[in-house]
A and B are shown apart, each in its own frame.
Chain A
Amino acid sequence: MNVYLFELKAQLRGFLAGVITLIGVAVVFLYGAYPIYRDSKADVQHMIDGFPPQFAALFGVNKDVFSFGGFYRFSSLYFMLIVAIMACGWGLSIFGREKRSKAVDFLFVMPASRIRLYAAKLAAGLTLTIAAGVLFLGTVALIYAQFGDDPTATSIPLSRLLLAACSLFGIGVLFLSFGALTAVLLRRIRSVSGIATAFGVLGFMLVSLPEMTGEEKYRVISPFTWFNVSEALDHGSYEAGYAGLAAAVAVLCLTGAAAVYARADARGL
């Protein structure tokens, strides 16, 4: 418990900075930019009327495209990027703390098994990830309520929107596990923010591969696409296969990290 509370306290500043960024970006996109987008509906509608209907469908233009959820679909990638960087940073920082401050021996002389220590640290990381996700969901729901009386905005119901926003929990846990595994494997962690940004940006880049090439098979190496926001918005569910893949990878990383953490040599100064 001590370790758990200590980690929560130590991460508090980073947590607040990350959550404020996330919520700030959400407000700018969903509250600031969305109305501008929605107001162009008439122009685009006019344009589309001149096309054959299959053509509009090809471009994903359907009745929902101007809804709040439709706009969330475009913006979700940016939220995922922020959460990925943030969660990976927490993983690196929590599991690499003693390595970085060269105090591993002080931690390991505590009367608790290494697995217990690992579990306490993991619990702290998961708490932060879940707290950030809940705050984000709350923000999205609040902004949605602002557009509550507009039939265009609400053509995708709030429940589906929130389900889509839940993808951030998945991304958070996944990148937390990447951070944890990296932290226990690396001999020296020179910069938490550098490694975390690299992971986040890499995940973000990889989205472009399946998207631009239309190759479905690239999705396997693109973690952000494992949580298909479009499926959640249109059909109210995630694809079981990819969700399972995400869960398997996260569990694998976390158990791998636990195994290394429990057995690794505590290096001296």
Chain B
Amino acid sequence: MGTRVMLAVVARELKANAKAFLVWAVAIALFNVAGVMKFEGIASGDPEAVRKLTDAFPKVALAVMGISDLDMSTFAGYYAVLEFYAGIMAAVYAVALARNAVSREMVDGTYEFLFVRPVTRTRILTAKLVAALVCAVAFVAVNLVSSLLCLGLLWDVPGLSGGSGPNPAAVVWRFNVWLMALLLVFGAIGACASAVCPSPDRGAAIGNASVVVAYGMGVVYDMFSDHEAAVAARVLSPFRYATPADVIAGSVPVPFVALAAGLAVAGFAVAYVAFDRRDLVPR
């Protein structure tokens, strides 16, 4: 009985999410086509000289320019910059998905129709979050597949295969794992904010602000990553829990991955508790 209702909720949520998903999926796929396809390897000049010059610039300036610690002449470095933008987009999408899962009926004023279903609120939220998760996974899948397809068309670019760096396809996979983790962390933050705030507007604003703040803190971390104190900025920026260099190398910074997992679990747990107790105030 309960399962049938839950499936119905999942199906309804998926349908309601479909239009927005299409827009996001097309945007990310086009971004990849336009970006990945254009990788030309070492476009001009001597890579050694480029590296020396970037070393001479202070980190502050490189971070503001968005290219700290990355070698743009390799596919991995180039893809890392592209995926950073994809990451911001994924974070915004995650917050939107979570907000819709937690507060859609509150905003529409149709909670009564949902809560007369003969299932607990916990089950309702589970069904809605499952639907959101399906969309998130599909979003990453679109990103992964479009990246790999474009990569497949790049076979004639010099310096792509062979050489010392990691295998490009492996780099693509790793960045997509990173993307999925980002979606979960920001989904948890968004769900938590939406469930705790009595006003859906406020909850959504807090979720979106967290993405912008996390992004800003990521830039600050890049600026001062030589300093010990920069760890504070890193803690505030899920975008930097695994740095691009970590992702490219496939190394796992254990404390920060644990922090990400903790955030995700705590965020969703608080969301469940708050959702269960929330008052259905008419707006």
Contact = CB atoms under 8 A, between A and B. Distances in A.
Interface string A55-78: 100110100000000010011001
Interface residues of A, number: 42
A190 B64 contact: no
Nearest to A44: B56
A33 B45 contact: no
B61 A37 contact: yes
Given A59-B53, A213-B38, A214-B43, A197 B92 contact: yes
Contacts of B230: none
A197 B211 contact: yes
Interface string A152-174: 00000000000000000000000
Which of A43, A188, A208 neighbours the largest number of chain B CB atoms within 10 Å of its CB? A208
Given A51-B49, A190-B107, A204 B88 contact: yes
Interface residues of B, number: 48
A193 B53 contact: no
A215 interface: yes
B44 A212 contact: no
B65 A209 contact: no
A141 interface: no
Contacts of B85: 204-205, 208
A83 to B, nearest CB: 13
A146 to B, nearest CB: 17
Interface in B29-72: 31, 34-35, 38, 43-45, 49-50, 52-53, 56-58, 60-61, 64-65, 72
Contact of B60 (A36, A191, A213, A218): A36
A44 B52 CA distance: 10
Given A194-B204, A213-B34, A29 B64 contact: yes
A210 to B, nearest CB: 10
Nearest to B24: A198
A43 B54 CA distance: 11
A10 interface: no
A2 interface: no
A193 to B, nearest CB: 4
Contacts of A55: 45, 49
Contacts of B209: 193
Contacts of B188: none
Contact of A194 (B31, B45, B52, B95): B95
Leading 7 A-B pairs by shortest Cβ distance: A213-B38, A47-B56, A40-B58, A191-B204, A193-B205, A205-B85, A197-B208
Interface of A: 25, 29, 33, 36-37, 39-40, 43-44, 46-48, 51, 55, 58-59, 61, 71, 74-75, 78, 85, 188, 190-194, 196-198, 201-202, 204-205, 208-209, 212-215, 218
